[in-house]
Structure 1
Amino acid sequence: MRLRLSRFRLSKAVPLAISRGTTAAVEHLLLELEHGGITGRGETGGFDTGHRHYETGAVAAELEALAPQLETLEPQPLQALEHLFKDLSPPARCGLDLALHDWWGQRLGQPLHRLWGLDPAACVATSVTLGLGALESVLARLERWRQQLPATRVKLKLGSPDGLDHDRQLVAGVRSALRPGDELQIDANGGWTLDGARQMIPWLADQGVVLVEQPLPPLLDLEADRAGFAALHGLAPIPLVADESCWDLGDLLRLAPHVDGINIKLVKCGGLSEGWLMARTAHRLGLKVMLGCYSDGGLLNSGAAQLLPLVHWPDLDSHLNLVDDPFSGPERHGDRLLPAARPGLGVQEVG
């Protein structure tokens, strides 16, 4: 196998503000894995969850150091390559895992979801994200989304540095702008204290919110992190979803008794191999699956979209907010995303 790495910029049409800060653009990596006349592609990049941080340059260095080992290997069977992933960071594993899966699907002439026996008819609408800000700007962002797609599922970021009163103001304002049948999801991105979460969650349930994601900051102390979710679970009749606290299958099993759902992000879990396993395990344990993204482009989200038939709460809207994405994203019908029917990840270059 021959591995090529290149960098590309992804710029947001509308910068996204969350409890940890604002993002307007990122630099990502394109991996091209060539063997036997077939090129598999993957996308990855650095990200920050507040308690763990990865730089794109460091991820690139990991993959460049691995490239000489790949030259003597073939891209299949995938099981024979598992030792390569052991010491890689999650975003480095993600990029390589995506490229290998893309190669495999192209070699077999099938999209991944078909090889896994998944049914695209099970796919449901994605949410669209409203970042933190003044109420007027948040409502303007909602209207901009509605000019692009139906936006029947709205995810509102909370955990404002201006406090809980501002969070409540945003919820009330967005609720008043929703149409009949629209649903409102809340993502605090770890922006509340335990006392604040105890105040907000019952109130949000009374407002008709359908879920609350990551109310407390994620912690490196896994027992303390688990205890935070345990203290909130069952506080109100509203699903509690773990995101920044849930990275892999081990975290899923640790948190399963105390949450109602998990958010799988490919750069966080290390790619489709782990993401598929987490989604299947979550189903078996009675948990619902959210499929999320960071500032990811169309290639990465096309890979994630192969899991969409297993997902109750899709949240793959990042590529819809980019002005310079070199790749197309998943197929879209209204606000319902579908895994592409083309082989592998099904991704296509733009233009």
Structure 2
Amino acid sequence: MDVTVQTFTVHKKYSLQISRGTTSETTNIWIKLKEDGIEGWGEASPFAINKEKEITTVQLVTELEAIIPQLKQFSPWQRQEIESFCDRVKLSSALKAAIDMALHDWLGKKVGLPLWQMWGLNRDRIVPISVTVGISSPLAAQQRVKAWQEVVDFQVLKVKLGNPAGIEADQAMLLAVKEIAVTAKLTVDANGGWSLTEAISMCRWLATLGVEYVEQPLPVGEEAQLSTLSQSSPLPIFVDESCFTSRDIPQLADSVAGVNLKIMKTGGLTEAMRAIHLAKACNLKVMFGCYSDSSLANTAMSHLAPLADYLDLDSHLNLIDDPFAGATMTEGRLLPNDLPGIGVEYCGSHS
């Protein structure tokens, strides 16, 4: 199969600050796999769960270019062999995601069906997505909520906490958000920004305000404390950075209520499906999240959305220059379309 790789840079309408830093733009990778006149598309976006584990776009491109000659020897039908090859060469999960995405897109186009239909899923079961408010001052947070209200009929709002200034700053920001987002359900994501003591205190306080759940309250590496936190917290605890693939789920199952699965972490739709079923077998709730992904990656995940309990696939809605169009927003829900494969079209210039 032919393999084509190019990069594209996307810029956020509003910079997103989390406990680890701020993002205003990213350069992502667009991979195209072609055989029999059919082209499958996939996306890789760089991400980091901490400063020690950051992989840049340049590193991803270098890594990908090194394996393209071997990748070309496969057919898109050989998904199992391709997955084994990617594991053998220890390919970064974001690149594995892009390749697996493209293979699924190719297959759907080959048989003329959207992925959700190939998998026999029901779009009516897709829950509303949440939209995200990053760490900021109380006034800036209120302005961000108002900006979201102008473009999306959202029902769920995710608030990023873990402010380096401390939990008092977190509390002030959340109260300000709640003043504006009167009817929205609220969830909280601390991105590992709290200590165990802070997390217990915040979870108890957040429960009095009707927050639905708390995501990744503790830093990566402190998973042993999750059980203590869950026993002390009146709110369900979800993990994100602490869970990449299905292999991480069994040791987390007794300590948390749910896991946040992202296509860039799992390494593709194939592994995302495995992780979903294993999580459910362990009686865990499943959430889908995203990094600085365009409509390409978020639409890919939207095809699995009937299997998710919570959805946080909003990154493309905060882009000025998303080069793709795919899943559409309807009454707060991100719905995949009827086009074959992932169902994404190219609609703008890239850089």
Q: TM-score range by the shorter chain?
A: over 0.9
Which residue is equivalent to 2:138? Answer: 135
Quick check: 1:319–1:329 contact (8 Å CA) kept in 2?
Answer: no
The farther-off stretch of 164-173 and 230-239 is 230-239
Deviation at 1:71, TM superposition (A): 2.4
329, 332, 337: which one aligns with 1:335: 332
Shift of 1:281: 1.7
Unmatched segments (≥5 aa) in structure 2: none
Q: Which residue of 2 aligns with 1:183?
A: 185
1:258 partner SS: coil
- Cα deviation digits, residues 307-328 of structure 1 (max 9, x gap): 1101111001100000111101
Whether the aligned pair in 2 keeps the contact of 1:2 and 1:67 (CA below 8 Å) is no
Deviation per residue, 1:192-238 (Å, 9 max, x gap): 1111112111111111110100001112xxxxx33121121132221
Query: Residue type matched to 1:127 in 2?
Result: S
TM-score normalised over the length of structure 1 = 0.96
Equivalent residue for 2:84?
83
Q: Among 192, 207, 220, which residue is 2:194 paired with?
A: 192
Q: How far did 1:336 drift?
A: 0.7
1:95 is paired with a residue of what secondary structure?
A: helix
Aligned-residue identity in percent:
39
Amino acid at match of 1:55: T
Higher mean alpha-carbon deviation, 54-63 vs 301-310, is at 54-63
Structure 1 Cα separation of the partners of residues 276 and 82 of structure 2: 22
Between the aligned partners of 2:140 and 2:132, the Cα distance in structure 1 is: 13
Q: Where do residues 294-313 of structure 1 align in structure 2 (5 Å cutoff)?
A: 294-313=291-310
Distance of 2:72 and 2:152 partners within structure 1: 44
**C-alpha separation between the residues in 2 aligned to 1:49 and 1:329?**
27
CA contact (8 A) 2:138 2:174 kept: no
Which SS does the other structure have where 1:15 is aligned? strand
CA shift for structure 1 position 38: 0.4
Is 1:231 matched with 2:228?
yes
Q: Which structure 2 residues correspond to residues 5-16 of structure 1 after superposition, within 5 A? A: 5-16=5-16
CA distance, structure 1, for counterparts of residue 274 and residue 300 of structure 2: 15
Cross-structure match for 1:168: 171
- Please give the secondary structure, in 1, of the residue aligned with 2:293: coil
Number of aligned residue pairs: 345
Does 2:23 correspond to 1:3?
no
Instruction: Render the CA deviation track for 1:80-113: whole Å, top value 9, x for unaligned.
Output: 3222221211111111111111111111111111
In structure 1, what is the equivalent of residue 217 of structure 2?
215
Return the alpha-carbon distance in structure 2 between the equivalents of residues 235 and 33 of structure 1.
49
Deviation at 1:329, TM superposition (A): 3.8
Rounded to whole Å, the distance in 1 between the matches of 2:38 and 2:152 is: 35
Contact 2:326 2:343 in 1 (8 A): no
Matched with 2:262 is 265
* Residue number in structure 2 paired with 1:245: 242
Query: How many angstroms apart in 1 are the aligned matches of 2:125 and 2:149?
Result: 24
Match of 2:26? 26
Equivalence for 2:68 = 67
Give the AA of the match of 1:201.
C
Inter-CA distance 329–12: structure 2 relative to 1 (3 Å threshold): farther
Tell me whether 110-119 or 19-28 shows the greater mean CA deviation: 110-119
Residue 290 of structure 2 contacts residue 298 of structure 2 at CA under 8 Å; is this kept in 1? Answer: yes
**1:70 positional shift:** 2.4
CA–CA distance in 2 between the matches of 1:135 and 1:292?
24
Partner deviation per Cα, 1:58-86 (whole Å, 9 max, x = no partner): 11122211111122221104223222221
Distance 1:31 1:338 in 2: 23
Q: Does 1:100 align with 2:97?
A: no
CA contact (8 A) 1:226 1:254 kept: no
TM-score normalised according to structure 2 size = 0.96
d(CA) in 1 for partners of 2:45 and 2:157?
26
Q: Paired residue for 2:152?
A: 149
CA-based RMSD of the aligned residues comes to 1.2
Are the aligned partners of 2:244 and 2:266 in contact in 1 as well (CA < 8 Å)?
A: yes
